[in-house]
Amino acid sequence: MSLRGKTAIVGLGMTAMGRNFNHSAPLGFAAEAIQRALADAGLSRDDLDGLLYSPGVVAADQINGAFSLQQMMGIKNLRLTAMMVAGGASAGAMVMHAAQAIAAGMASTVACVFADAPLSPPSAGGGRSSDNFGRAQGINATYGMFGAASGYAMVARAHMHRFGTTHEQLGTVALAQRAWANLNPDAQMHDRTLTMAEYHSSRWISEPLHLYDCCLVSNGGICVIVTSAERARDLRKPPVYVLGMGQGHPGGDPVQTLSCGAPIAKRTAFAMAGVELKDFDVVQLYDCFTITVIVTLEDYGFCAKGEGGPFVTGGRLGPEGTLPLNTGGGELSAYYMWGMTPLSEGVIQVRGEGGKRQVPKHNLCLVSGNGGILSTHSTLVLGASV
């Protein structure tokens, strides 16, 4: 049985993003996001019989997060619950799990939520406000290589060496997404423009990656509510149908392959949806780093492997470009909620709720998720109709 169009996203709940200290732990942001998503859909807690939770980098109260969240909110009689951890691919994986369960009759209405709180309020002594990250360990860290930035820096350096990709091309991705963020009032960088000179002069994070090659750090939470297509038609907001879905986890060394899991994931998702790349009106790609966007564009087939650098030039990705990509500003300039960043903007665009950044044609949207160092991948095809 095909799952094409059997389910739809009917609720979207988003907290304020960035230096948001309204909650002391991720579960508080998760609960707020669920409440907002239910209100958006015109549903109540009693309508939920599924709860899927993806934790971020903060370990506090996350081990039994789904159960703790259920208890915190007083949700009764769940038929489906789980913690889902696939890095930035988790958001897409949660929607897939929810859709499969609903199609199998094992749940009817499922909340899929991500929350994180890596930022701490500034201390009285002026201390750092990002103290919740774990400390790097192991032999790589001993020699100065730790964290995602170093891993993606190796990918970027290899791409530059093998294909001639330039800093200017990486910067073009950053500038395009900042231009979209300047149209998004909910973006952390909404009121801050970015020039190429500012990009080049920004400090190194891990060479060859500058500050603006790297995603933001955000406190917050995002939830989507998934239910059957039949029920979706009677709810408050226009349904965003899940037309196709797939996962791809390639294994191997990404510095050698310079590839992510998109070629595997898209094969399943595109076949289910019955679409080709040329059919998409708007694209939301996971963008933890600028090089991630270039590699992912290549792997979906927007251009050949190695041609991602030249492909992103000429204003193609920005508000006046021919490929509307990461139209809310993405993780580079809007907010970093892992795979929920591209998913939330995909829902907004398909609904036609993007305001100044709304793409005129928005019937079909591609959403990607990516985890690890190009290690895990999810693909969703979202549509305004079946």
* Residues acting as catalytic residues: 286, 336
Reduced to 3 states (helix: H, G, I; strand: E, B; else coil), residue 232 is helix
Residue pair 115/344 in contact (Cβ under 8 Å)? The answer is no
Distance CA 38, CA 18 (A): 23
* Entry field: residues in the chain: 386
| Count of alpha carbons within 13 angstroms of residue 54, beta-carbon side | 27
Distance CA 383, CA 386 (A): 7
Distance CA 236, CA 43 (A): 9
Alpha helices in the chain (DSSP H): 26-41, 65-73, 90-103, 139-142, 147-163, 167-181, 196-201, 229-232, 254-257, 262-273, 290-300, 308-311, 330-333, 340-351
Output the six-digit token pair for 28: 């508080």
Q: CB neighbours of 81 closer than 8 A, spacing ≥ 6?
A: 50, 51, 52, 53, 66, 67, 70
Q: Which of 209, 211, 215 is closest to 167 using CA atoms?
A: 209
* Signed CA dihedral, 297, 382, 224, 246: sign only: negative
